[in-house]
Amino acid sequence: MSVCVMLDVDGVVVTGHPHDGRSWAADIEQDLGITPQDLQQHFFIPHWKAIVVGEKRLDTVLEDCLPRLAPDLTPQDLMAYWFARDARLEEDVLADCDLLRARGVKVFLATNQEHFRARHLMEMLGLSSRVDGIIYSAQVGAKKPQRAFFDAALSLAGSMPETTFLVDDTRANVDAARAAGWAACHWTGEQRLLELLETARAG
């Protein structure tokens, strides 16, 4: 029975700003004139929950929000800024993905993500060549730690819970995966991915 490894993206495969790992929005006030507080109040708090499960489109929401936040910016401007600054790839993790796939292990990204950035991750950051696919919340209409996300992930990957392993930096997601019958571990970045999987298997 083939093994399938599911990796969270943000905090595991991608860790913030390419230069220093900071939040993509750390310099947004200086660069674009948008305060982080306004971004939270007028964009993330009222809209993100719906965007991340595919109920709203990111570009449409930004088109409505940006006249208040930064009238001269287009949705494409903000998305390009965001995605370019949230793109630090963890090459050690990806190198271990290469080794796992060479051994016949299926490796998928399993992430809370909306459509535009999911496509950016796979196409522009080149992750499509390093994993077997991406399963994301806006695609399946549910997000981690909801059980529906894990059920959909198994269906899309063609995997069984007892042979599926989640690596995630959010404990609630790890707990939910285990409740769904998966193996799972909390990612801290202190071990290499292969070491973590081998330790978990031995345990």
pLDDT at residue 201 in the model? 76
**CB atoms near residue 129 (< 10 Å):** 8
Give all strands (DSSP E) within the chain, no chain letters: 4-7, 106-111, 133-136, 164-168, 183-186
pLDDT at residue 2 in the model? 81
Burial 59-83 (b: 16+ CB within 10 A, else e): bebbeebbeebbeebebeebbebbb
Residue 120: pLDDT over 80:
yes
Residue 165: pLDDT over 90:
yes
149: pLDDT confidence band, cut at 50, 70 and 90?
Answer: very high
Answer whether 0.85 is exceeded by the pTM. Answer: yes
pLDDT at residue 1 in the model? 56
Give the whole-angstrom CA distance, residue 71 versus residue 187. Answer: 40
Query: CB of 101 within 8 A of CB of 107?
Result: yes
**Which of 36, 38, 33 shows the shortest CA–CA distance to 25?**
36
**Which of 185, 178, 179, 188 shows the shortest CA–CA distance to 203?**
185
